[in-house]
Structure 1
Amino acid sequence: MKKIIPTVCFLFSFVAAYATTVSRIDIIGNKRMDTESVRLLADVKTGTNINSEDVNQIVKKLQQSGYFSSVSAKMDGNILKINITEAPVIAQVTVEGNDEISTEDLKKEIRVKERGTFDETEIGADVSRLLTIYQRKGFFDTRINPQKIQLEDGRVNIVYEITEGHPIYIKDISFKGNNEFSSRTLKKELLSREYAWWRFMAQFDVYDEDRIQYDAQMIRQFYLRNGFVDVQVKVYEGKFTPDRKYYSVVFDIQEGQRYKIGELKIKNPFTDVDNQELNSALKINTGDIYNIDQIETTIGALRAVVAAQGYSFVNVDVIPDKDDINRIISMIFEIQKTNRIYLNSINILGNVRTFDSVINHQLGIRAGDPFSLQEIESGRQKMMRSRYYKDVQMVPTRIEGTNLMNLDVKIEEQPTVELSGGIGWSNINGFMIDAGIMETNFMGRGQVVQLRGSIAQYTKQVLLSFTEPYLFGRELSGGFDINYTMYNYGKLGSFGYDRDSLSLGARLGWRLTDNWTQMVRLSAMYDQNYDLHAVGGWQAANLYTLGTNFKYHNLNTDFKQNTHTGIVANFGVAYTGFGISTETFMRYNGEITGLVNFLDNRWQLKSSLEFGYVQPFGDDYISRVYRYFLGGESLRGFQIAGIGSRNWAYRNYALGGLWKANGSTQLNFPVFIPDEYQVKGFIFADYGIVGKPPKDEYEFPKNSGHYNFIDQDLRTSAGVGVFWNTPMGPMNFSWGWPLKMNKYDREQRFLLSFETQF
């Protein structure tokens, strides 16, 4: 007991020596803030025992409040004296020297606010954020100098003085290790583009590190769609030109081997779900080239089959079995029962421009839907493919204690304006140059607006089109087209007419199945037609038309060989008249093309068939410009409009027919040139028939007893050719020889066409 008493006394004496009771608090230096507010920020009261460490904590609290530029405190006897210098109040925040980025966009990143207090650390953070924005735009030489302008009454103005410098453009994009696909093919998968002066609105040719990383991901997805499951894509460190205006980008690709699909199995835990129906839902078959997109489509199809039986909460897990020796991947699609988890809410973040409704359509999921990571990833991929966004992140969060999930969709948008142009030559158009501008996310609504014009030797055209992809908030596209075209066909082949045409059209389209789509179109066409051998000069024609067409598309493409397997088709019917058209008729059109590739996909057999029929009402006359003609690219070996009925006096004057049927069979094959040059040879056989013209055309002049050459005989031809997919664009050379023809037909043995887009 005697030992404890001295120890307690010592501790009491220690506390008494270092802790003092505050009897008064003096605040020194405050001008705008009252004393009581400072005391509350310091969190100290009279009567409190404090020591030196407590005084230090008071100083820290006041400094961290952000209201003071300097703070000191000390005990003077029992009096706590706090000396402060109030931080200046920011009167105004301005940005100067910015031309490439608007002041509004820059101020969104500035955290320093007017009527707030001045803080050096916040100013530095603002500068870092602004520099990041400029670097994303390709301005790596930007300098930002923040200025503090002292005013009266402890106020300051903050000015961010910006020297933007010049953007860093992508000089060239190259690839290393791409043995299976040409650089030209891979560049089509990229958002980034090499510098060109006409891309000044799109910004895709300005270096952006985030976009380059996304491009690397897109290249990897391309390889995964074409069988290369082990592909690795890295971005090499590029280099600046000496003047630091341009940057070279190199993608390093390790392709690996191409794999095919092996054995496919489905593990089905549900006894009332038909296995045969599940097998029919598979979108891939044994022997197909591995395609990540088709596998994801298969997962969705299997879930749909199971959901149709009332099992909404399932997961489909793909279990691969990779055989490196035979280069095949067998897969088990294991359908698993899962707990019932629902989406509680979907929160879209970061969309400054794109409407939430557009993003919701792209996602394809709604609050209240069953939670599925597969559906969420599918929605993310669809959003990225729209090219509206630089980045999309899906962040699901479980609500504790419930079976509900919230989903945050974090997006970063990017410009969606595209400029393009091209030059080319063909027998039907002569030399051609075209240019256009397209906005694929107009006003953030997902709408597509396009303005395009072309000038060619025989045609001139201007087109304005608008498309709303989600009309009335549904999976229904709608739009309009305004098209003005001048046809100078008086000296082209055997056409023998000129035509100026203004067309106004409205359309609705929707998807019927995965492969079938339908479109309905209402149009008004105002023409001025000049038939070189008709009486009366220019003739006006007004045509009002309502029609519909059905399209079928089911193709698998080998991008390396540029060959396909599948079928594409288009069938349509249209009525022109309504009692206000200058001519009244029905028109029926159809075309179907089948393709198959074989022998390592280097060979391709293609067969196509087209037909058309215009049916006049009663004795209505169908003007020559609205009839059918064959020749040139539609029947090689013959001149454009080179077959069919013909004027007896002007044998270079084709009369055209009220119907036609033509087709072609072509075999493409490799030549003795490495595949990387994308040169193919081909042989072909073409055939075609043009029906008779209206009976009024049987005599020339009418009722003169001089009969024109009228026929609807079959013509055939055969030939050879070379297709070269050059770095500048595709070129097509063909030589055709008529096998069956009439004496008044017009031959043309050689055809050439090429086109380049930039």
Structure 2
Amino acid sequence: MQVTSGRKTTRNARRGALLNTLVISFFLVLAMVCAWGVTPAQAQAQDYRFTAVRVEGNQRIEPGTILSYAGIKRGATISGADLNDAYQRIAQSGLFQQVDLVPQGNTLVIKVKEYPIINVINFEGNKRYKDDQLAKVIKSQSRKVYSPAQAEADAATLTDFYRANSRYAARITPKIIHRSDNRVDLVFEIQEGRITEIHRVSFIGNRAYSDRRLRQVIETKQAGLLHQLISKDSYLAERLTQDKQKLKDFYLSRGYIDFQVLDVTSSMARNRNSFFLTFKVQEGLSYRFGKITAASEVHGLDAKDFQAALRIKPGQTYSPTIVQYNVERLENLALAKGLNFIRVEPRVARNDRNQTLDIAFTLVKGPRLFVQRIDIQGNNTTLDRVIRRQFHTVEGDPFNPRAIRAASDRIKALGFFSDVQVTTKPGTAKDQVIIDTNVTEQPTGSLSFGVSYGVDAGAGVALSFSESNFLGRGQSLKASINSGVDNATSSITFVEPALLGRDLQFSFGAQYATSSYNNNYYDTKTISVTPGIEFPISENGRLGLHYRIAQDKMSNVDNGVATPSILTNEVGTKLTSIIGYRYSYDTRRTGLNPNAGVLLSFGQDFAGVGGDNRYIRTSAAAKAEKKVAREEVTLRASLEGGVLTMLKGDSRAVDRYFGTGKILGFKANGIGPRDLNATNQDALGGNMFAVARVEAEFPLGLPTEYGIRGGVFFNAGSVWGLDNTYGQTIDTSMHLRSAIGFSIFWDTPIGPLRFNFSRALQKQSYDQVRNFDLMISTQF
């Protein structure tokens, strides 16, 4: 009995433990359900059927609009998921800040709380940009429904706007001010911050060229002395793509065919006001041209004439520009022979042992494709014909991809567009191609007002206007007024680059000038009009023809003595009618050698086609420039001269040469024949002049961003010859003058300045020297 009682007790204990476990589990589940806020009955899926739908809380939004968002039909059976979808549609409309769907028996109550209406939008803290500029950036508008999400998106858009303008430290915070009638004022609090500049640009992996040289290649610049006036020293991520391409073009044109920009990293300083930019490059080796041949794969076409047309010398540094130039020459030769659809493929054989590239310019038969039409878009101001004339291809011509790429380059070179995209697409037939040209216009005009200064002319006021795309016709119009202490000049110049749609440049210029130099005791007045035309006669040569009619007046000669001087005999007004020509040969027009260039010019003016003067004026110049020492040093040399030959009467001071600015180290009108009998010893000028100049420009070791370089120079030349001395003892002989010195070149936002410190080596006792000069820096 005792055993049986024990077994029962054990079974009862087990049953009690199981019952306790079930009770505890029930209460745990109940507690969890209560914690979730859902009753067991609510946890079960339900279907709803509403015979009525009521909207509450709406003030401006019509109930029908809200019901359309909900999409619930009266009397239809809907599930809990359908009810949730209705809620999502109403909430996502962006019109309400709170939405509740409350089933009340057979009625569904939609309770909403509308977003307020924006009363006004204000910008606070903005100084760099005006309110109307910022208002165009955002999407929120006055008298529209306020949306917090849209306000945050607008703040992000404004931040991107400031970053696009190099203000990466900008902070924009949207805030609202509650007004009556459920309205709010939306305020964007702006902390603009400073412009984020480029503190340092460095390069890794460059051996052939220094960081200083490569910084001259890219558009991005380091912040320098005048960094607040220079926009290119601010950080723009979009500019890095251009910089990478410029570096690649720079190295390729110098034979580095394996060059790569491996990476560009930018790190921001802690104060978020500057960036450190690093280009990681891989240069490779420089290659030269090896064996150059022309071959033909076209049946019956001999490559002999094409071989003779090639202009590449073995041993010359490889450049894609030179290859492209020769491809165009051969394809143009094929067209001249009446051969259409002939393409030239430059096939390159690489010789790594001697670092040369053998190129076989192979003539092949291209596909028979024709240009169906040329479409132009994006030119709101520029006329179609200005762009279309850059294509040497018209509708119906054989399609040549290289000719189209060359046209794209010519359109970019106009300077009228910030972006040019020339693409092709199939035409309406298999053998036709449509050329799409999309351009983005940019400002082409400028109006400037400033103060000028010259050592001789003193301080002056300058006002100028220029427009390189006048009325969208591709024409150039320039007008300027310059007034100094002793002189004043007004001029206007108009240029039509494509007269009658051809490569024929027409120009028209008019000038009115007066002068009264301190070291010349007489006054002059000149009024002139000069029309002209210019056209190419070879790849690098152009010929210009011009006509000039001018009225020159000399007056108020004060020689300080009773006896008439030479200048006294030249007082008066004369009308001069001139026809002339000028030939120029400039190797920079093809751009085949980026490190050197030669400019030759020769011209003559023939006065006597009417008017009072009869003479021939002949002038010639030869100038050359070359970069050496890894392109760190620039060498320049020039030789210039002129001869005035009178056919009737004697020359006057307004017609003769004075050598002003030709030889550094001397004052304006400081060399040549001089009237020593006059108290003021006026410079008389001469009928002939000749000048030779050599100089070198080199870095001074200063940071590139300062834009300061040094230079040394040597000048030699003379001014001599008079027709009549009127019995005066005047030295008209040719005496050589020379000077040496050093210069400081400074690239500033107002223009390139040049400071010259010189010493005359050879001079005459009556010459007037100058040991310091400040001038605008010019190259040929």
Matched, 1:552 2:581: no
What per-residue deviation string (whole Å, max 9, x for no partner) do you get for residues 388-447 of structure 1? 666655666668997555646364858986999999999xx6999999988676789575
Query: Is the contact made by 2:487 and 2:515 (CA closer than 8 Å) also made in structure 1?
Result: yes
Query: Is the contact made by 1:632 and 1:748 (CA closer than 8 Å) also made in structure 2?
Result: no
How far does residue 626 in structure 1 lie from its aligned partner after superposition? 1.2
How far does residue 63 in structure 1 lie from its aligned partner after superposition? 3.9
Report the equivalent of 2:316: 288
Report the equivalent of 1:338: 367
How far does residue 231 in structure 1 lie from its aligned partner after superposition? 3.7
Q: Distance in 2 between matches of 1:76 and 1:63?
A: 21
Aligned counterpart for 1:516 among listed residues 531, 541, 545: 541
Q: Distance in 1 between matches of 2:532 and 2:201?
A: 40
Report the equivalent of 1:121: 149
Identity %: 18
Superposed, 1:184-203 pairs within 5 Å as: 189-192=217-220, 203=231
Question: Structure 1 stretch 174-183 or stretch 213-222: which is displaced more?
Answer: 174-183
How far does residue 627 in structure 1 lie from its aligned partner after superposition? 1.7
Superposed, 1:131-170 pairs within 5 Å as: 131-150=159-178, 156-170=184-198
Aligned in 2, Cα 1:638/1:132: closer, same or farther, shift over 3 Å? closer
Q: Distance in 2 between matches of 1:568 and 1:320?
A: 35
Query: Is the contact made by 1:346 and 1:366 (CA closer than 8 Å) also made in structure 2?
Result: no
Q: Distance in 2 between matches of 1:438 and 1:183?
A: 38
Report the equivalent of 2:80: 52
Query: Is the contact made by 2:657 and 2:719 (CA closer than 8 Å) also made in structure 1?
Result: no
Matched, 1:326 2:359: no
Superposed, 1:689-728 pairs within 5 Å as: 690-693=720-723, 697-700=724-727
Q: Distance in 2 between matches of 1:736 and 1:111?
A: 72
Aligned in 2, Cα 1:75/1:486: closer, same or farther, shift over 3 Å? same
Report the equivalent of 1:111: 139
Report the equivalent of 2:12: none
Amino acid paired to 2:585: Y
Matched, 1:573 2:602: no
Report the equivalent of 2:596: 564
Report the equivalent of 1:12: none
Query: Is the contact made by 1:479 and 1:507 (CA closer than 8 Å) also made in structure 2?
Result: yes
Report the equivalent of 1:623: 652
Question: Structure 1 stretch 621-630 or stretch 635-644: which is displaced more?
Answer: 635-644
Aligned counterpart for 1:588 among listed residues 617, 635, 642: 617
What per-residue deviation string (whole Å, max 9, x for no partner) do you get for residues 333-354 of structure 1? 45561362647664645x8998
Alignment size in residue pairs: 703
Matched, 1:100 2:133: no
Q: Distance in 1 between matches of 2:289 and 2:469?
A: 41
How far does residue 131 in structure 1 lie from its aligned partner after superposition? 1.9
Amino acid paired to 2:357: I
Query: Is the contact made by 2:554 and 2:570 (CA closer than 8 Å) also made in structure 1?
Result: no
Amino acid paired to 1:60: Q
Amino acid paired to 1:699: Y
Report the equivalent of 2:11: none
Query: Is the contact made by 1:181 and 1:559 (CA closer than 8 Å) also made in structure 2?
Result: no
Amino acid paired to 2:540: N
Amino acid paired to 1:516: G
Amino acid paired to 1:626: D
Question: Structure 1 stretch 191-200 or stretch 26-35: which is displaced more?
Answer: 191-200
Q: Distance in 1 between matches of 2:449 and 2:216?
A: 14
Question: Structure 1 stretch 250-259 or stretch 176-185: which is displaced more?
Answer: 176-185
What per-residue deviation string (whole Å, max 9, x for no partner) do you get for residues 523-543 of structure 1? 656655555433389756666
Amino acid paired to 2:315: G
Q: Distance in 2 between matches of 1:207 and 1:557?
A: 33
Amino acid paired to 1:612: V
Amino acid paired to 2:653: R
Matched, 1:261 2:261: no
Q: Distance in 1 between matches of 2:697 and 2:187?
A: 67
Aligned partner of residue 226 in structure 1, secondary structure? coil
Aligned in 2, Cα 1:663/1:384: closer, same or farther, shift over 3 Å? same
Query: Is the contact made by 2:322 and 2:592 (CA closer than 8 Å) also made in structure 1?
Result: no
Amino acid paired to 1:549: R
Aligned partner of residue 232 in structure 2, secondary structure? coil
Report the equivalent of 1:409: 438
How far does residue 224 in structure 1 lie from its aligned partner after superposition? 3.0
Query: Is the contact made by 2:664 and 2:758 (CA closer than 8 Å) also made in structure 1?
Result: no
Aligned partner of residue 122 in structure 1, secondary structure? helix
Report the equivalent of 1:237: 266
How far does residue 290 in structure 1 lie from its aligned partner after superposition? 2.5
Aligned counterpart for 1:535 among listed residues 568, 584, 592: 568
Aligned in 2, Cα 1:372/1:181: closer, same or farther, shift over 3 Å? same
Query: Is the contact made by 1:556 and 1:565 (CA closer than 8 Å) also made in structure 2?
Result: no
Q: Distance in 2 between matches of 1:450 and 1:205?
A: 31
Aligned partner of residue 289 in structure 2, secondary structure? strand
What per-residue deviation string (whole Å, max 9, x for no partner) do you get for residues 272-306 of structure 1? 76645544654544333233333344444444444
Scaled by the length of structure 2, the TM-score of the pair is 0.68
Query: Is the contact made by 1:563 and 1:604 (CA closer than 8 Å) also made in structure 2?
Result: no
Aligned partner of residue 134 in structure 2, secondary structure? helix
Report the equivalent of 1:222: 250
How far does residue 553 in structure 1 lie from its aligned partner after superposition? 0.9
Aligned in 2, Cα 1:598/1:328: closer, same or farther, shift over 3 Å? farther
How far does residue 584 in structure 1 lie from its aligned partner after superposition? 2.6
How far does residue 140 in structure 1 lie from its aligned partner after superposition? 2.5
How far does residue 623 in structure 1 lie from its aligned partner after superposition? 1.4
RMSD: 5.8
Amino acid paired to 1:700: G
Aligned in 2, Cα 1:737/1:535: closer, same or farther, shift over 3 Å? closer
What per-residue deviation string (whole Å, max 9, x for no partner) do you get for residues 482-526 of structure 1? 575646373xxxxx6655555565655554254233554656566
What per-residue deviation string (whole Å, max 9, x for no partner) do you get for residues 364-397 of structure 1? 8888887666456545555665666666556666
Aligned in 2, Cα 1:614/1:39: closer, same or farther, shift over 3 Å? farther
Q: Distance in 2 between matches of 1:371 and 1:525?
A: 54
Aligned in 2, Cα 1:614/1:142: closer, same or farther, shift over 3 Å? farther
Query: Is the contact made by 1:631 and 1:643 (CA closer than 8 Å) also made in structure 2?
Result: no
Aligned in 2, Cα 1:633/1:299: closer, same or farther, shift over 3 Å? same
Q: Distance in 1 between matches of 2:146 and 2:468?
A: 40
Amino acid paired to 1:228: Y
Amino acid paired to 1:295: V
Aligned in 2, Cα 1:600/1:542: closer, same or farther, shift over 3 Å? same
Give the greater-gyration-radius structure (CA).
2
Q: Distance in 2 between matches of 1:367 and 1:78?
A: 74
How far does residue 628 in structure 1 lie from its aligned partner after superposition? 3.4
Amino acid paired to 2:600: V
Query: Is the contact made by 2:255 and 2:288 (CA closer than 8 Å) also made in structure 1?
Result: yes
Q: Distance in 1 between matches of 2:343 and 2:123?
A: 53
Query: Is the contact made by 1:423 and 1:756 (CA closer than 8 Å) also made in structure 2?
Result: no
Report the equivalent of 2:641: 610
Amino acid paired to 2:255: G
Aligned partner of residue 727 in structure 2, secondary structure? coil
Query: Is the contact made by 2:51 and 2:75 (CA closer than 8 Å) also made in structure 1?
Result: yes
Aligned in 2, Cα 1:195/1:331: closer, same or farther, shift over 3 Å? same
Query: Is the contact made by 1:346 and 1:367 (CA closer than 8 Å) also made in structure 2?
Result: no
How far does residue 66 in structure 1 lie from its aligned partner after superposition? 3.8
Query: Is the contact made by 1:143 and 1:163 (CA closer than 8 Å) also made in structure 2?
Result: yes
Query: Is the contact made by 2:651 and 2:722 (CA closer than 8 Å) also made in structure 1?
Result: no
